[in-house]
Structure 1
Amino acid sequence: MASSHADQIEEQLIFGRPGKEWQELRGGLTAREIHQQPQLWENTWQLVQSRRDSIQQFLNGVFRHPDLEIILTGAGSSAFIGVILEGAFQQHTGRKTSAYATTDLLTHPQLHFRKNKPVLLVSFARSGNSPESEAAVQLANRYCDTVYHLIITCSASGQLVQSQHIHPGYVFLLPAESNDQGLAMTGSFTSMLLAGLLIARIRELDRLQPQLERLVRYGRKILDNYSHSLQHIAGMPFDRTVFLGSGPLYGAAMESHLKVQELTDGKTICKYDSFLSFRHGPKVVITPSTLLVYLCSNDPYVAQYELDLVKSIHVGERGMHRIAVSENDNDCMQFSDTRLVLNNDAERLEEAFLAICHVLPAQLIGFFKSLSLGLHPDSPSLNGTITRVVQGVTIYNWPGPQTD
């Protein structure tokens, strides 16, 4: 008798162990959702390809406004997607682009919306059920004379997709397997990030296929070649973790810090920063029980600044362990204890694509650290402080005047 789909999942090897073993530890969902990401990226690429004409038609109508402004928004991890993509959208669309969390748009809409400027509001949402998501859409409609909505989401049944307030707009629904069922956003984060990047560059989609193939190769290398090293590191007795990144990798550092903190139920306190900014006071957080993770740029100009910071850490408090994640074997590697090198040739992945795979080490560290602390990665929050969809948010009516 042929085995069922459930049986196949249980038998599938994930990080060297059958899926059933992770399920018994109540981490099966998260393990599978982390492990399947390279395939999910390929599926996302194919989906964007299949919908490129309709996406292009929508954007043609949006970009007929020469003074259009783009706002990238979301809450939590979804907001970090906007941080990573802010530069890519501005560079490749030629329109002023800003990333604001929905949580900021709700409290201070007058600082971010302008009445007389056409706006494309790009909303990222795993479930589309966060109360702030639709409220931000409604505020944009209220404040802006002309507003378009691009919804990038993982759930067809989410309130945001079902909203009556997203017209004129376009909904890009990712493959069903992107809608993570575990607490922490993993595949949903990276697939929405990839979709946003591809849509920002929809006119040059065919030229980006080699980038997609390289990204998938890097993702598989991290998951297949480095998961055991990261599991060993996760078993070390560190109680805080610092992630550093520059440019798009700064947003990757933001997501990385949240992932480890969520999956360990706050038992591992995390911080993120840029390499240059870390000198200006935050460097004091390094203690003998700190894990440092360097998300290295592949831009030689940027790498000079990163190397200077890494050297300064080397002659001071070094923390418990240092990990360097780099496309190539660069100079920062010699000052690190564990080196994750993704490539051996001279070709480079663009930084925005690099940010996608650079969050995988944090997902793995968070997953294995959660287990080492006796937690359940699929639902690590013991007292329910963190939920898959945020709870208890009251949306209040904004009493202020419309912006000028």
Structure 2
Amino acid sequence: MNATERGIREQFPLWNKVGMGDIRPDPASVNIVVGCGTSVHIADAIAASLNAHGIFSRAVAGNEWTRRPQDYIPRHLRPNVLALSRSGESTETVAAAIVSRRNGLHVTAFTCAPGTSLEKNADATVLAETHPEEGIVMTASASLMLLMGLRYAGISVTPETTAGAEALLNAADPALASLIDGRSHFVFLGAGALYGVAREGSLKLQEMSLSQTEAHHPLEYRHGPVSLIDERSMVVFLYHPDTLEEESLLAGELMAKGARVLGIGGPGTVSLSVTGDADVRPLVVLPMLQLLGEYVARARGLDTLAPRHLTKVVTIA
């Protein structure tokens, strides 16, 4: 077991240490959730969760918010900004915080490192301890920031949630090798807050294993992308309980076209149940997606501690 896998498997006790203090969103304000790379996918899931709980929100990539905020919300709105960065030093995210405060906006930071540039340019900070062996690829830290975001939205994340996530990872573990065998095309499908997690699963597998990956809203998949499905495809279906019936029909169609389907919360070539309310499902499924990336990389003889072309912190001079 390498350090990447240890970080994935050993992250669960860290979840139960996270405290939010008294940091909560202003329900009367628009919220912009900013991040880069993994963090912007986590931001997407957080924004959807905030919206579902009555707090109007939008996820925006760091440099987009710095350079063209008017393309994402009308100029007259004065949003609060939630900035996500594992290191607290990602150039685009720090710049987004600096510009936001310069414009008189309130900035809250979610990070996994103390005393950073992001914290110095935020009005409030939530800090979580991540796994000490986490390398370039974000694993435990991504889960921790998503956990913070769900709690920020008012969702109850409990030790039972943690136990459910660990149980899902352990249930998926023995099935992954046979699912990925001979597969070179990977698709992640998820609706609502699960869409951001599907995007993160796709990114994780892409950067860890140099695989061809894509992520979509489930029922959008018939509208063009399905043309790529064949016997080389594996689909990770993150079922939403609200749309289980129609998503199950799609899974059946994909399996008939040659895909193997890992059904999380619904039918598939391998089907796994998910415990907990729908609100926490994005968090519960995330470690399992991280483990999938590690296993595909290992099957290809790749070292996830040294992913090609990547650095732990993206800084731009």
Q: Percent identity?
A: 24
Candidates 204, 216, 222, aligned match of 2:168: 222
The yes-or-no answer on 1:304 pairing with 2:245 is yes
- Please give the per-residue CA displacement for 1:344-376, whole angstroms capped at 9, x wherever unaligned: xxxxx3333101121222211111111121111
The yes-or-no answer on 1:355 pairing with 2:293 is no
- Please give the per-residue CA displacement for 1:296-334, whole angstroms capped at 9, x wherever unaligned: 1123xx11221221233244x222x221111xxx4xx2x
C-alpha contact (below 8 Å) 2:51/2:57 kept by paired residues: yes
Say what the alpha-carbon RMSD is for the aligned residues: 2.1
Tell me whether 81-90 or 117-126 shows the greater mean CA deviation: 81-90
For 2:212, the aligned partner's letter is I
**Per the alignment, do residues 180 and 246 of structure 1 end up closer, same or farther by CA in structure 2, a change over 3 Å counting?**
farther
**Could you tell me which residue of structure 2 aligns to residue 6 of structure 1?**
none
**Per the alignment, do residues 225 and 276 of structure 1 end up closer, same or farther by CA in structure 2, a change over 3 Å counting?**
closer
Map 1:105-254 onto structure 2 (within 5 A). Answer: 105-112=65-72, 116-142=76-102, 144=103, 146-161=104-119, 163=120, 165-166=121-122, 169-175=123-129, 177-178=130-131, 181-201=134-154, 208=156, 211-234=157-180, 236-254=181-199
**Could you tell me which residue of structure 2 aligns to residue 387 of structure 1?**
311
**Could you tell me which residue of structure 2 aligns to residue 262 of structure 1?**
207
The yes-or-no answer on 1:323 pairing with 2:262 is yes
SS in structure 2 opposite 1:291? Answer: strand
The yes-or-no answer on 1:72 pairing with 2:58 is no
Aligned-pair CA distance for 1:232: 4.1
**Could you tell me which residue of structure 1 aligns to residue 219 of structure 2?**
276
C-alpha contact (below 8 Å) 1:180/1:187 kept by paired residues: no
For 1:40, the aligned partner's letter is L
C-alpha contact (below 8 Å) 2:229/2:254 kept by paired residues: no
SS in structure 2 opposite 1:183? Answer: coil
In 1: Cα distance, 2:72 partner to 2:189 partner: 28
In 1: Cα distance, 2:49 partner to 2:190 partner: 16
**Per the alignment, do residues 101 and 352 of structure 1 end up closer, same or farther by CA in structure 2, a change over 3 Å counting?**
farther
The yes-or-no answer on 1:33 pairing with 2:7 is yes
Aligned-pair CA distance for 1:115: 5.1
C-alpha contact (below 8 Å) 2:87/2:113 kept by paired residues: yes
**Per the alignment, do residues 133 and 281 of structure 1 end up closer, same or farther by CA in structure 2, a change over 3 Å counting?**
same
In 2: Cα distance, 1:369 partner to 1:289 partner: 14
Map 1:366-385 onto structure 2 (within 5 A). Answer: 366-381=293-308, 385=309
**Per the alignment, do residues 138 and 114 of structure 1 end up closer, same or farther by CA in structure 2, a change over 3 Å counting?**
farther
Gaps of at least 5 residues in structure 1 are 1-21, 344-348, 395-404
For 1:237, the aligned partner's letter is G
Tell me whether 284-293 or 127-136 shows the greater mean CA deviation: 284-293
C-alpha contact (below 8 Å) 2:134/2:140 kept by paired residues: no
Aligned-pair CA distance for 1:280: 0.8
SS in structure 1 opposite 2:108? Answer: strand
**Per the alignment, do residues 110 and 360 of structure 1 end up closer, same or farther by CA in structure 2, a change over 3 Å counting?**
same
In 1: Cα distance, 2:274 partner to 2:56 partner: 33
C-alpha contact (below 8 Å) 1:180/1:186 kept by paired residues: no
For 2:314, the aligned partner's letter is V
For 1:339, the aligned partner's letter is S
**Per the alignment, do residues 116 and 274 of structure 1 end up closer, same or farther by CA in structure 2, a change over 3 Å counting?**
closer
For 1:85, the aligned partner's letter is I
Aligned-pair CA distance for 1:114: 5.1
Aligned-pair CA distance for 1:77: 0.8
Aligned-pair CA distance for 1:386: 1.5
C-alpha contact (below 8 Å) 2:229/2:258 kept by paired residues: yes
Of structures 1 and 2, the larger Rg is shown by 1
In 1: Cα distance, 2:67 partner to 2:233 partner: 34
**Per the alignment, do residues 179 and 199 of structure 1 end up closer, same or farther by CA in structure 2, a change over 3 Å counting?**
farther
* Structure-2-length-normalised TM-score: 0.92
SS in structure 2 opposite 1:43? Answer: coil
For 1:285, the aligned partner's letter is L
Aligned residues: 317
